Structure 1
């Protein structure tokens, strides 16, 4: 029989995280978010080996950067990750700020508004950039039917509170796996809007280009768009200079084409966005292998 109980290491790591979050919640929101950013930049990143991976990825994708520019990003990228996690665990304080600011913008916004009234499905192509949950909060605030596919955490102890935290921002959520996939497809067929990530290395994906380097990219967003006659738009929650607020940018709809061409268009769009905001993409991923 399979033992799904968390390991001792997982329980210890989860307990440490919950202790940190308990202390962080004692701070007001506008101090809590940067405090968690500092913690990730100066404590979590070196312990987790993120700094080396960020440097390696930057030297591969951006060999034009100077060493001081790389070292600044080595601190800024984990800081954004820490801020994002703190925002997810801030619940109503986070979503209320999004609702109050109504940060949606961009050339694809009019297409989303039109699609909502027609009942057509939407594929929201998103990346590990800024805070991708800002996008879900902004769409849900308008009453739009946004759902998302998510990958359960390897640490089951962490997963037990992580899933309720992301569910509180917007729902439905669909876990990767057979049951989640079936529910996701029913939702899409019924005119739902589905957020799908596309910026991680996928062993079974097509070899496309990102930062003019070969990498395997999942074709699922384009394939579902074609199968269900959906609208496909790139979308990103862009953190603003104050570190607390966002613009949620909806890119122009991707033209219907064969899946590889559609996904290459998304890779190209994301690359332009990342080049403008280098500190906000998750350079910790092993995007190139």
Structure 2
């Protein structure tokens, strides 16, 4: 199953993609089960309920979905929790030693964008960077877990995410802060779909990015220093994880910060993909002062 949200920004309709008896993938409305794909849906057993409804044939099939905008596959989370330098090679290209414990920071939930929405470059920014990341969607409340083994039941599923970052705001000088560099509007494209945890093994997935068709990142999630279970256990010692929260697990080497590639500019097209989780695509444009981010297919 692939969970999606379709329609205009702010009015997305929840749906699920599933193969019929002939193996043809079709879209089905989730309206009979939930108003949205959010924490309440996940915490109440929405994923197994969807499987039962599909098996029973009680979900109406949707038509014309190819013409609809694809939004982020989960509704706005309570928290976006991010892990920095979780791939040794990325830490090295950033000029840092690989961390011995997870590096944690937060992004505002209002940075979420659709996977194909046009992507704004902030006014005056010249070091805007891409970061393809495996996203973990939390399915039930968790705090003070005893061990990483307890994390399995906390994970609802996985998504592709882009942790777009303005490096000038993030890094240099006494005013550089990760919060400033990673909180910009529409700087967290997510999707195209959300896959349940029991349908995907996250430990050895191919994870890639391209800019204007040229490969930038090409790695495996097996290269992460701290895997999903370890991260969830660690985070639960410091914060309450709630259903619908999103954890971004870090990016591999191959970003512009390395000095090997130019930073993003207006007109550039970035494609980010993870095996089993689909490909997202953003076309970048220069944001005008005071203008809200654009939505719709780039």
- TM norm structure 2: 0.29
- TM norm structure 1: 0.30
More strand, by proportion: 2
